[in-house]
Structure 1
Amino acid sequence: MDTYLKFKTVVTSTALAVGFAGATLLVFKYKLRKRNAVDALNYLTIRTVNTEESCNEVINELRRRIGLHKAIGFDCEWVTNQGRRQPVALVQLSSYDGYCGLFRLSHLKTLPSSLKELLEDESIFKVGVAPFDDAKYLLNDYSVALKSTLDLRHIVELTGHTTGGLAFLAQSELNVVLDKSWRVRCSNWEVDELTQTQINYAAADAHVAIKIFVNLINKKYGSIWSWLDHTSNNVWHNINNICWKYADIGFKSKHTAKLGNEIKKEKESKLTKDAAVSKRYPHATRSKPLYHNCFLVAPDGELLCTCDTKKAEWYVDKELADVVKEDPLTVRLRFEPSGRSVGEVGRYYQLTKENKCVVCGGDNSYIRKNVVPREYRKYFPEIMKDHASHDVVLLCTGCHQRSNMRDQAVRERLAEQCAAPLAAHTDNKFKEDVDCKKIRSAARALLYQSRKHVLPEERRKELELILLRHFPQHQEITQELLQEAAEIQVVFENVDYSSHGHKVVEYFLKHEGLLQLERLWRQHFLSSMRPRYMPQLWSLDHNEQRLKIRLEEGRLSEEDSKLLGF
């Protein structure tokens, strides 16, 4: 009897185990099945916004829901008419829990301040695929300086997954099949009433982006149960530390199957090659330290500043200074300098500086970064070009690249503010004379025709006529004439050309002052890169303080004082 009961118990336990395993398998199969977006996202709450009042209501609700993740799903739609893009018609925003706002900019009389403030809020990441491109359109169309855009593909790559478009990521990460038919994508987003298909499509694009983002972050940095409960870990308190380096950085697709370590090795190999040609390219990775931290002292022994070895040795070689100490190299001037270190401005130049990236602290390789770009500073008056070392800092290669990309948004804002368009090509400094080009082409065609490729008689006469019109003093075509015409100048300097940097500097000279332009770029560097290792006493108002000291000491001309607004 006991044996029978034991056997029955074993059979029952086995049956239960098999049943549980089968049920679990069915659950996983159900979870893993691919579903279309309408069915998979049927829990979404979608609000279409046509008025400023409803906009404020939806924005307040979105802000309430995105507090944990500090991120929101983002996308834009517009109409393309005969190949030309029209202003952005629709902005889609979605929280992780499925609250979606569809903001119809084409129907709003003005852009509501609540929406603008959310889009320009640096503390909230706007997650999507290629949001950096959408940011440019919003800036051009509505003067919205979209901040903290985050291309989802950076996070996908960071977690070791295969990158792709939004539809691919939705299917591979969420098993959701998005409707990407051209009939919806290219539909009229400015229509009076959006169809249900358009509404579903627009909401899905924004929502799957934030859904994928949260899931990937939880799996990568959260606990083992975080994928079940997105609030069960503290990763979201540190999300800024994880994502800030990718904010406002466009993602360039890599046409390669290499991921993870292979991509890293490829980048490291490229950096090694770049370092080898650092002498040829001023922005290449430095192989030698920038700061030597030698000391320059006045005749009475007062410390003036730190300098590099080459400068210190130059003073000694010219018999303008004497070596006081070998390590660290300290030289004392034999003459009284024009000025001495005063206040914190002067102390800045006395401090030793570290050879490491001011953003992340990396000290393996670094590149000089001009906080105030040279394209503007080169047009500054000489009085402001002195002591430019304050705005030269060291960045590692990765931080240097991110900083340069983030600078572009400021350039575009300045271009609009100062009516100083950014040149698409460098050749706009010159003009090409169409007539001269025709003359040169005609001469070369006649000059270099070979025996095998003789020009047809009619074409030859046509080309000769072009030359004789330009050279009326010649009655016939000669070899000397052909040689002269073949070398005729075609490109001429554009006397009306004014670079973007020059126009911006002229604008600030007339309106806000160059010190404000300088301060603008410094503030941008601090807010966009959040450097943790800036030199001590580095200041937003460094130049203004330095020049005021010169003014008080009577070392600033009246003309310079007026120029600086003093």
Structure 2
Amino acid sequence: MGSYSKLKAGITSTVFAIGCAGVTLLVLKYKLRHRNAAEALSYLNNKIVTTEEACNEVIYELRRQIKLHKAVGFDCEWVTTQGRRQPVALVQLSSFDGYCGLFRLSHLKEIPSSLKELLEDENIYKVGVAPLDDAKYLLNDYGVALKSTLDLRHIVELFGYAPGGLAFLAKSHLRIILDKSWRVRCSNWEAQELTEAQVKYAAADAHVAIKIFVNMINERNWSLWSWLRGSNNNNIWRDLNEVYWKYADVSFKTKQKAKLRSELMHKEREGKEIKENLLSKRYPHATRSKPLYHNCFLQAPDGELLCTCDTKKAEWYVEKELADIVVKDPLTVRLRFEPAGRSVGDVGRYYQLTKENKCVVCGSNNSYIRKNVVPREYRKYFPEIMKDHSSHDVVLLCVECHQRSNMRDQSVREQLAAQCEAPLSVHGEGKYKEDPEFKKVRSAARALLYQSRKHVLPETRRNELENVILQHFPEHDNITEDLLKEAAEMQVVFENIDYESHGHKVVEYFLKHDGLLQLEEMWRVHFLHSMKPKYMPELWSVKHNEERLKVRLKEGRLSEEDAKILGLSKSL
């Protein structure tokens, strides 16, 4: 071939290569372009549920479709009227394959048992952005104790991506642009019929969450190496719970705070200056970095070990001349008087053992919170004899485990509320409650008193606020500064005369029926079952108090009448 022919062939092949590359780039550009949700999610199979029968059918199909992933996309919608949130009107649940149930709670007389069971099933993750907030609303509005919520941002951050809102994540990871216009977002979700725009909006929010979740985990785990080793995609999802369980029912914001706190403590250990007062203001009483267990030793006069205790307690005995220091490290003090009782059996040995300063669930030892296994709202009504040695029911949890445990406690509260006819407070109506009318008047007065000085209130708005105040004070003909000051400082929180303490009613019920030991053991069993702690103190026992009180009964330090009330006689 001549030089000209070679040059011609070379140019032809180059042009062809460039052309192919251009086509490839065009195809790639087309594939990577962003699409709106209506176009990208046209395959969704949306089922609107307004009856119990329809609910049962949709839940059955959802459970069938999520057998592999054990997770659903989750979201809620509600109406806000005059700044006040109304009960949740719509719950959206979606499978990865696009089967989406839209459950119109505002049109159902009550939550169907099939839906409630799925929402409270701890073996199925409810994936979304800030799902824990929606869980609180469902609990407050309908008494549904949602379990295993999973904030998608935990997983996104874990895999090294930037967390953000659902729209940001959908655009970044699916190249889908969600419709977040206020006209749909703030529309009437309690309407007789949902519009097509509302249905697509609601279904998209639930579906993109589960789609991002599944895609991300598959991409991370389904590598060429795992294929060569013969790994099965099912194995990824079978072991999912072991990896992501620690993120269940944990607020993403709480996790960020804990991370910040850990960083600050690390800097402090390195000797860097830290503004302690700023940290304490942000997170008052949230976590502790100082050890709970000092593991000092307290001895009887004859040298027998009674128990471990903290430094402060040991030093108090010495300062009051009730004990002498025997050993300085570890600090050991010996009492000068005979104690009321001595350690007997495993019950007594529990208090002699040293305890570790770490989360009893996951073993984290950076920072921790005291967890009352038997919640204080019940224990505070216990007789004094059961409050003794209550340290047995105080364990340490890290921030994430503490929050998860508190969420899972709610199912027991619901059970006790039904069993003992002790309703939980609803919509924030506890011992004290706000008067909405008084609050409206106070807000109007403060707006007029403070904002009007900056000339930011339009005339029409000022007239509206003045009318609110004058309607509340009919004896006044016009607005004065003194009237505004009076209204701005008016009381808006009052004692709720209809309030009945849930905890008190539950304790009263068990005193009359099963005995308080049964209530105590119920909470301990629940903690073990719901949290599956791996680092519980040695000899920690569900029946600890029962065994302790049996010893007291045999020693004559507990009356038969008290034993009967506590439910001890039934177990003898």
Check 1:204–1:331 CA distance in 2 against 1; reply closer, same or farther (3 A cut).
same
Structure 2 counterpart of 1:348:
350
Residue 174 in 1 paired to residue 174 in 2?
A: yes
Q: Report the CA distance between 1:385 and its aligned residue.
A: 1.0
Structure 2 counterpart of 1:554:
556
- 1:74-93 Cα offsets, whole Å, 9 max, x none, are 12234456665554343221
Q: Report the CA distance between 1:147 and its aligned residue.
A: 0.8
Contact 2:431 2:496 in 1 (8 A): no
Question: Alignment partner of 1:547: what SS?
Answer: helix
Q: How many residues are matched?
A: 504
Provide the TM-score with structure 2 as the length reference: 0.71
Structure 1 counterpart of 2:380:
378
Deviates more, 1:259-268 or 1:325-334: 259-268
Residue 68 in 1 paired to residue 72 in 2?
A: no
RMSD: 4.8
Separation in 1 of the partners of 2:192 and 2:290? 63
Structure 2 counterpart of 1:539:
541
Deviates more, 1:33-42 or 1:213-222: 213-222
Letter of the structure 2 residue corresponding to residue 360 of structure 1 = C
Provide the TM-score with structure 1 as the length reference: 0.71
Separation in 1 of the partners of 2:268 and 2:67? 40
Separation in 2 of the partners of 1:537 and 1:250? 33
Question: Alignment partner of 1:349: what SS?
Answer: helix
Separation in 2 of the partners of 1:286 and 1:275? 14
Letter of the structure 2 residue corresponding to residue 209 of structure 1 = A
Separation in 1 of the partners of 2:28 and 2:258? 28
Residue 165 in 1 paired to residue 165 in 2?
A: yes
Please, which of 358, 369, 389 is the counterpart of residue 371 of structure 2?
369
- 1:53-104 Cα offsets, whole Å, 9 max, x none, are 4433332332232233221101223445666555434322111121222233
Separation in 2 of the partners of 1:118 and 1:49? 15
Separation in 2 of the partners of 1:73 and 1:553? 59
- 1:282-316 Cα offsets, whole Å, 9 max, x none, are 94655543334344455676554333455556667
Contact 2:432 2:493 in 1 (8 A): no
Letter of the structure 1 residue corresponding to residue 245 of structure 2 = W
Structure 1 counterpart of 2:202:
202
**1:507-518 pair list within 5 angstroms:** 508-510=510-512, 513-518=515-520
Structure 2 counterpart of 1:451:
none
Structure 2 counterpart of 1:250:
251
**1:465-476 pair list within 5 angstroms:** none
Contact 2:293 2:357 in 1 (8 A): yes
Contact 2:75 2:93 in 1 (8 A): yes
Identity of aligned residues (%): 72
Structure 1 counterpart of 2:237:
236
Please, which of 416, 419, 425 is the counterpart of residue 421 of structure 1?
425
Check 1:537–1:223 CA distance in 2 against 1; reply closer, same or farther (3 A cut).
farther
Q: Report the CA distance between 1:340 and its aligned residue.
A: 3.6
Check 1:505–1:261 CA distance in 2 against 1; reply closer, same or farther (3 A cut).
closer
**1:203-222 pair list within 5 angstroms:** 203-219=203-219
Separation in 1 of the partners of 2:35 and 2:268? 42
Structure 2 counterpart of 1:38:
38
Separation in 2 of the partners of 1:194 and 1:74? 19
Q: Report the CA distance between 1:268 and its aligned residue.
A: 5.6
Separation in 1 of the partners of 2:565 and 2:179? 60
Check 1:248–1:409 CA distance in 2 against 1; reply closer, same or farther (3 A cut).
farther
Structure 1: segments with no counterpart, 5+ residues: 435-489
Structure 2 counterpart of 1:305:
307
Separation in 1 of the partners of 2:262 and 2:290? 24
Separation in 2 of the partners of 1:320 and 1:217? 62
Letter of the structure 1 residue corresponding to residue 42 of structure 2 = N
Q: Report the CA distance between 1:535 and its aligned residue.
A: 0.6
Q: Report the CA distance between 1:210 and its aligned residue.
A: 0.7
Deviates more, 1:369-378 or 1:332-341: 332-341
Q: Report the CA distance between 1:30 and its aligned residue.
A: 2.3
- 1:335-368 Cα offsets, whole Å, 9 max, x none, are 6544343443233223222222223323344443
Check 1:354–1:48 CA distance in 2 against 1; reply closer, same or farther (3 A cut).
same
Letter of the structure 2 residue corresponding to residue 538 of structure 1 = W
Check 1:89–1:357 CA distance in 2 against 1; reply closer, same or farther (3 A cut).
closer
Letter of the structure 2 residue corresponding to residue 560 of structure 1 = D
Letter of the structure 2 residue corresponding to residue 554 of structure 1 = G
Question: Alignment partner of 2:58: what SS?
Answer: helix
Q: Report the CA distance between 1:166 and its aligned residue.
A: 2.4
Check 1:10–1:306 CA distance in 2 against 1; reply closer, same or farther (3 A cut).
farther
- 1:189-221 Cα offsets, whole Å, 9 max, x none, are 445554433332222121011112223344556
Contact 1:71 1:125 in 2 (8 A): yes
Separation in 1 of the partners of 2:495 and 2:398? 38
**1:443-454 pair list within 5 angstroms:** none
Separation in 2 of the partners of 1:391 and 1:331? 25
Question: Alignment partner of 2:352: what SS?
Answer: coil
Structure 2: segments with no counterpart, 5+ residues: 439-490
Check 1:504–1:232 CA distance in 2 against 1; reply closer, same or farther (3 A cut).
same
Separation in 1 of the partners of 2:54 and 2:48? 9
Structure 2 counterpart of 1:454:
none
Contact 2:72 2:210 in 1 (8 A): yes
Separation in 2 of the partners of 1:20 and 1:297? 87
- 1:134-174 Cα offsets, whole Å, 9 max, x none, are 22332234332111112223333444444443233322321
Please, which of 351, 357, 360 is the counterpart of residue 358 of structure 1?
360
Larger Rg: 1
Check 1:427–1:501 CA distance in 2 against 1; reply closer, same or farther (3 A cut).
closer
Question: Alignment partner of 2:100: what SS?
Answer: strand
